[in-house]
Each structure stands twice: as structure tokens, then as C-alpha cells.
Structure 1
Amino acid sequence: MSAIKSSSRKKKTTTESGTPKTELKRMTVEEDDFDFDADQLKQRAPKKQRSTFEDDFDADLSSDIKGLMSALHQIKEKAQKDGQKKKEETISSVATEIRSKFDELKSKVEKERQNFAKALSKSSREVCKENPHLKQTTCKNFSTLSQLNIKTPLSLRTQCENLLKNETSKFQAVYENFCKDKNSHLQALKDIITKYEEEKERLFMRYEQHRKKEKSMISEHEKACATKISELEESLKKKKQDDKTFSILRKTLGSFLDNASDEDFPPDD
């Protein structure tokens, strides 16, 4: 700071040394500047020492700060390297754990898939044995589904979805045919029931007519039988009366006939 002030003073003196007025002014200024008392000199001396000490302190402080900054920078780089290394170790350990879990899951899925394929193959064989009327294509589709050997779940899902779509379309066609056949059979059954009801009504009417006819015939036959019975009774009564009359006549005639006896005329029943 003092060096800067002295240089500014020198510039002032050099710039103002042109005319007598400026020279006189310069002389008065210099006298004013150097006219100090003892206290001012005492105060001026420590200021210069202080400024040099401050400059030295600033230089040392700046060098210390630079060293500290470089040390901090090195510590930061080392910390970053250590952190990066720890991150890499952590990531590698997590990746290894995930890979092991994925391998376990893959083996488990493969095992379950094989068990499912075996169970499906067994069930398809049992279904085909129990239901021999099933089409051969259905059993073939069951066996194809059970014999799938797929390494990735995505391809397994795709093939299963395709097979399911095919089977669904076939089932839909069979269901539509079944609905058509069901409707036709239901209509035929309704027609049969309607015809049966009509035939039942017709037969019931014929039965009623036949029953009435039988009743009338039976009543007529009863009347005829009653008439014949009454006529027979009348004829029997008349015959009995005739027999009595004949017996009386015979007895009367026998009394007049001497040679006649009762043995010649057998008694009436």
C-alpha cells in the first residue's frame, strides 16, 4: 500500500513540474507532507511495519489457503474414488444377489413348468381315455400343450396365448353349433309336445264319446236283458200255470179212465 502511495506522489510531482506556480505548489505540498511531529512519526512507523506484516501474512495465508485447497481437492478426489469404489462394490454385490435370485426363480419356474407339463399330459391322456368320442385334434392339442419346451416365459406365454386363442375359436364354433342344434332340438321338442297335447285332447274326446256310447249300449243291453228276463219269467209262470192246468186235467181224466194209472203219466218236474 505504501509503495502504491509513493508512486502516486512521484507521478504528481512529475506531472505538475511544468510552470513556476506548479513548482511552488509542489514545494509547499512536500513541506506539508514532511512537516510531522513526533507522535505522527511514531504512528507512521508502525503503520509501515504493519503493512509489510500484513503483506507477508497475506502471502502466507494465500499459500496456506492454496495448500489447504489442494489438500481438500485431493481429499475430495480420494473420497470420490473411495465412494465410486464402494458404489461399484455395492452395485456388484446387489447385481450378484439379484442374479442369484433370478437364477433361483428361473430354475423354480422351469421346474414348475415341467411339473405342469407332466400333469397336463397325464390329464390329457386320462381325458382322451375316458372320453373316446373326443376328436383326435383335441387330444393332439392337449399333447402339444403338454410337450411345450420353451426356455423363456415370454415365448411360453405367446405360444400359450396362441393355443388358447385357437382352442377358444374352436370352442366358440362348437358352442355356436351346439346352440343351433339346441334351438332346433328344443323347437322339435316343443312341436312334439304340442302334437302330443293335441293328440291327447283328441284321444280324450274320443274316449268320452266311446264311454258315452258304451254307457248307452250297456243301458240298452240292460234294458233288453231285463225285458228278456221279464218275458222269461212270464213264460215260466205261464208254463207253470199250464203244467198245473195239465196236471189237473190229467187227474180229472184219470179218474174217468179205469184202466189208466198214475204210472202211465210221470209227474212233472
Structure 2
Amino acid sequence: ACLLRLIKSGANKDRQKMCEQIIASVAANIQTMLEDTKSKFEKERQNLLKVLSGTSKEQCESSLNEEYTKLQETYEMFCEENDAHLQTFKGMANKSWLSFSQVYRVLLSRFI
């Protein structure tokens, strides 16, 4: 019984560490994507300011709409990638739990 508790404790710690690493990795990816998006948006804003200085109101509105569309597409892509990362994480966590449960049942059946 003591051996089972030690194995269970070790498996739980390993699973928790793996989950923490996955979360940290996803968080880093999200942060990088946000920084990239912010940088691209700032560059586009600077370009837009240059364009705005010498164009008519109609051209300004058209450029603004184009930039808004680009931003919206980037945001949608970010959301899709974020959802994919979260689904991957959930799948990995479920697989880890199932694997642990199977090992636990085998060990339990051997010692009982």
C-alpha cells in the first residue's frame, strides 16, 4: 500500500509538472503572438499615418477599413490558434490521467 501511494504521488507530481510546462509553453506562445500582433499593428498604424497625411477623406476611410479588416483577421487567427493550443493541452492532460489510471489499476490488482 505504501508503494502504491509513492507511485501515485510520483505520478501526480509528474503529471502536474507536465501540465505546468504545457501551460507555460502555451502562455509563452500566446505572449509572443500578442507581441507580434502589437508590433505589426504599430507598423501599420505608422504607415496609415503617413498615408493619411496626404490623402482625401475617402482614401482615409478606405485605408482605415482595410487595416481594421487585417486586424480582425489577425485576431480571429489568434483565437483559432489559442483554441487549438487549449484543445491540445486538454487532450494531453486526459491522456496522462488515463495512463495513470491504467497503471494504478494494474498495480492495485497485483497487490490485492
Q: TM-score, normalised by structure 2?
A: 0.49
Q: Which has the larger radius of gyration?
A: 1
Q: For CA contacts below 8 A with separation 6 or more, give which structure has more relative contact order.
A: 2
Q: TM-score, normalised by structure 1?
A: 0.22
